[in-house]
Structure 1
Amino acid sequence: MAGIGSYLKKHTEALVKDVGIEPACQLTGKSKATLGRYYSDSEEHSDRFMPVDTVARLEAAASYPHVTSALAELHGDTLNKNNSNKGSGGGINSDVISLSQRFAMLMGEYQISIEDGVITNNEAKRLLRETVELQKVLIDMKLHHEDGND
């Protein structure tokens, strides 16, 4: 359970940061401290998780459903967003270029992080953000292919 808890907390943090801490407080009616406890990795908050209704409010304002996606991944599933970038055009070639660019950004972030032989907590968070961005491109690519926009 510790690994699952840590995974969910990282995605909870990504969700709050996606929305922004101040807007997240306004949307949820919760303080910065309360929101911080939901993704804190300190022992005293290890059993605290964001309530589902709070996740729903934040994900409605976020650019990506971070926590819902993490829950799906934990069960071996993926999300299929019906409203994702329809009409963005470009087809499969454009998707492959976007995928290549995002992967290059992830590898660049990794190169910077590993230079001193240690990946710090902040560097790991940046890598996670880039990984989530890469995942978004893959989901869009999948949706374009399913829609027949090749």
Structure 2
Amino acid sequence: MAGIGSYLKKHTEALVKDVGIEPACALTGKSKATLGRYYSDNAEHADRFMPIDSVALLEESSSYPHVTAALAELKGIGLNFDDRRPNADRKGGVNSDVIALSQRFAMLMAEYQQSMEDGRITVNEAKRLLKETTLLQQVLIDMKLNLEDESG
């Protein structure tokens, strides 16, 4: 547990510093001292960790989900960070998702066809295909969420 605890504390500290200590205090309702204890490597605070609701609040305001990513890494899970943060919710629901899905798939196929012109996929072409695949995956996730909302 010592290695895992230390790892999580480092990522907790990165999260608090990403948000800023004062804003972190305001968001979580915790004092600077309490937040400091969550990432302190002193033996007396070895068993103190930030509550998950506080992590969620801070990660909503951070530039990166530090603690969530650390937990995923510890479990051997890879995450794709979706840094899209639209100013307003998308409207249109599933119908718009189907259109976006077909457009994104067309982009993936165009990228694939261009990559295969010479019969092999280079590293840069693979990176572009991976990016298109990830964007297609994001459309599918949006569609899944909209279907869940519409089905109640």
- TM-score > 0.5, shorter chain as reference: yes
Looking at structure 1, the residues matched to 35 and 85 of structure 2 have their Cα atoms a distance apart, in angstroms, of 30
Q: For 1:84 and 1:61, how far apart are their aligned partners in 2?
A: 13
Of structures 1 and 2, the one with the larger relative CO (CA 8 A, separation 6+) is 1
Name the counterpart of 2:134. 146
Residue 25 of structure 1 corresponds to 25
**Pairwise CA RMSD:** 2.7
How do residues 114-125 of structure 1 correspond to structure 2 at under 5 angstroms?
none
In 2, distance between residues paired with 1:85 and 1:145?
A: 19
The Cα of 1:36 is off from its aligned counterpart by 0.1
In structure 2, what is the Cα distance between the partners aligned to 1:142 and 1:50?
35
TM-score (norm 2): 0.57
1-side partners of 2:130 and 2:32: how far apart? 36
- CA shift digits 1:61-105 (9 cap, x unpaired): 00000000000000001222344489xxxx9xxxx7xxxxxxxxx
Which ranges of structure 1 fall in alignment gaps of 5 or more residues?
A: 97-137
Q: 1:69 to 1:29 in 2, by over 3 A?
A: same
The count of aligned residue pairs is: 97
Identity of aligned residues (%): 68
Which ranges of 4 or more aligned residues in structure 1 deviate by more than 2 Å? 80-86, 141-148
Kept in 2, the 8 Å contact 1:80–1:143? The answer is no
- Whichever of the two has the greater Rg, that structure is 2
> Residue 59 of structure 1: SS of its match in structure 2?
helix
What residue number does 2:52 align with? 52
